[in-house]
Structures are given as structure tokens and as C-alpha cells.
């Protein structure tokens, strides 16, 4: 996938999420189906997953190469990443990433702030995606808690899918 296509995909997926969240009753922000995250927790989780990507992309690429190494395989396409993520999720048997365990329930007062932060972070990611060189997209790797080390292009494509994945969960549960 070309980096402009990825940036457009990020925009589309996050826009769909934000529009959906803004239309939901305030009660859903703090109360969810039994055993499931509230819409507020889903939003907080998505914010927690995009911030580290943006932070990493703000670092000098040579530091990332030093810390995590370089890609040792060709970049996979979007569908392959989606399928691999779904496989890994089913293998994890409901295991939650450490940073998302015991997720606090954001208050209604936090709602607009969190939605604004998500929008800001996704705009940053779009900008960074368009600006990074294709060489760095394909050779610099970042660690993913479930998928292992992935080239930056794949991490960004995964980020788009991750938002879609949670938007589908929200629509199904609410």
C-alpha cells in the first residue's frame, strides 16, 4: 500500500469511529454490556495504542534501528496483516495487552477531551505517514505486543485495522 493510501485509510477509519462515538448516548460512555468495555474505555484504548506509534515516529530513525533492528523480510500487504492479527487474537484467547488490563472507565467529563486527543493523534499519524521515506517505512521495525516486530508500514496499516476492529465491536455491542 502506498503511504498516501495508508494515510487516507487512517483518516477514514478514525473519522468513522469519531462520528459513531459522538452520536452515542452519554450513558454508553461510562456503562457497557456486562464484561465488556464501555465506549469510553474503547476510546481510551485506541488513544493508548496510537500514541506510542506517533512517539516512535518522532524519534530519529537511526535510534529505532539501533534499538529494534531492521526488517529482515518483505512488507506484507494489508489483508495479510489483518488476517495475521485475527489469528493472533484468536490464539491469545481473550488475553489483554498489559497496558489495557484493568482499564479505568473515563468519566463523561473526559469524553470530549479524549475524542479531541484521538483526532489530534490520528492527524499526526497521517502527517508522519506521508512524510516518512518509503525506505524507512519498509526497513525500520517497531515492536507490537501481539504481532512481534513489524516494519513501520505494517504497524501503520495495523493501526487502521485496529480502529476498524474496535468500531465493529462497538457497533455490535451498542
Compute the mean pLDDT over every residue in the chain, rounded to the nearest whole number.
94
Residue in 153, 7, 129 with CA at minimum distance from that of residue 58:
129
* Cβ contact 173:31 at 8 Å: no
Instruction: Report the distance separating Cα 152 and Cα 28, nearest Å.
Output: 34
Crossing angle of the two packed helices 111-131 and 3-23, in degrees rounded to 10:
170
Question: According to the model, what pLDDT value does residue 96 have?
Answer: 63
The torsion angle over the Cα atoms of residues 62, 63, 68 and 71, rounded to 10 degrees, is -10
Residues making up the chain, counted from first to last: 174
How much is the average pLDDT of 107-129? 97
pLDDT at position 5 over 80: yes
* Cβ contact 158:79 at 8 Å: no
Give the pTM. 0.93
Angle 116-118-120 (CA atoms, 0-180°, nearest 5)?
70
Query: The C-alpha cell of 45 is what?
Result: 484504548
Question: According to the model, what pLDDT value does residue 98 have?
Answer: 64
Question: According to the model, what pLDDT value does residue 39 have?
Answer: 96
* Cβ contact 141:152 at 8 Å: yes
How much is the average pLDDT of 25-51? 93
Q: Please give the share of the chain, as a percent, with pLDDT higher than 70.
A: 95
Instruction: Report the distance separating Cα 141 and Cα 48, nearest Å.
Output: 19
How much is the average pLDDT of 17-26? 95
Neighbouring-strand partners of residue 144: 148
pLDDT at position 94 over 80: no
Question: According to the model, what pLDDT value does residue 32 have?
Answer: 87
Residue 76 half-sphere exposure toward CB, CA atoms < 13 A:
18
Instruction: Report the distance separating Cα 129 and Cα 155, nearest Å.
Output: 11
How much is the average pLDDT of 117-133? 98
Question: According to the model, what pLDDT value does residue 95 have?
Answer: 60
Using one digit for the tens of pLDDT, what is the confidence trace for 39-87? 999 999 999 999 999 999 999 999 999 999 999 999 999 999 999 999 9
Question: According to the model, what pLDDT value does residue 100 have?
Answer: 65
Amino acid at each position: 500500500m502506498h503511504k498516501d493510501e495508508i494515510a487516507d485509510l487512517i483518516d477514514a477509519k478514525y473519522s468513522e469511529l469519531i462520528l459513531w462515538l459522538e452520536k452515542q448516548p452519554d450513558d454508553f460512555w461510562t456503562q457497557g454490556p456486562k464484561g465488556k468495555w464501555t465506549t469510553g474505555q474503547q476510546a481510551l484504548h485506541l488513544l493508548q495504542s496510537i500514541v506510542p506509534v506517533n512517539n516512535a515516529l518522532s524519534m530519529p530513525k537511526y535510534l529505532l534501528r539501533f534499538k529494534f533492528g531492521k526488517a529482515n523480510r518483505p512488507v506484507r500487504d494489508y489483508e495479510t496483516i489483518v488476517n495475521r492479527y485475527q489469528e493472533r487474537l484468536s490464539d491469545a484467547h481473550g488475553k489483554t495487552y498489559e497496558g489495557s488490563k484493568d482499564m479505568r472507565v473515563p468519566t463523561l467529563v473526559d469524553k470530549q477531551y479524549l475524542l479531541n486527543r484521538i483526532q489530534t493523534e490520528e492527524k499526526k499519524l497521517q502527517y508522519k505517514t506521508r512524510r516518512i521515506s518509503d525506505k524507512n517505512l519498509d526497513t525500520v521495525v517497531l515492536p507490537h505486543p501481539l504481532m512481534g516486530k513489524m516494519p513501520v508500514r505494517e504497524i501503520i496499516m495495523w493501526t487502521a485495522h485496529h480502529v476498524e476492529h474496535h468500531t465493529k465491536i462497538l457497533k455490535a455491542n451498542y
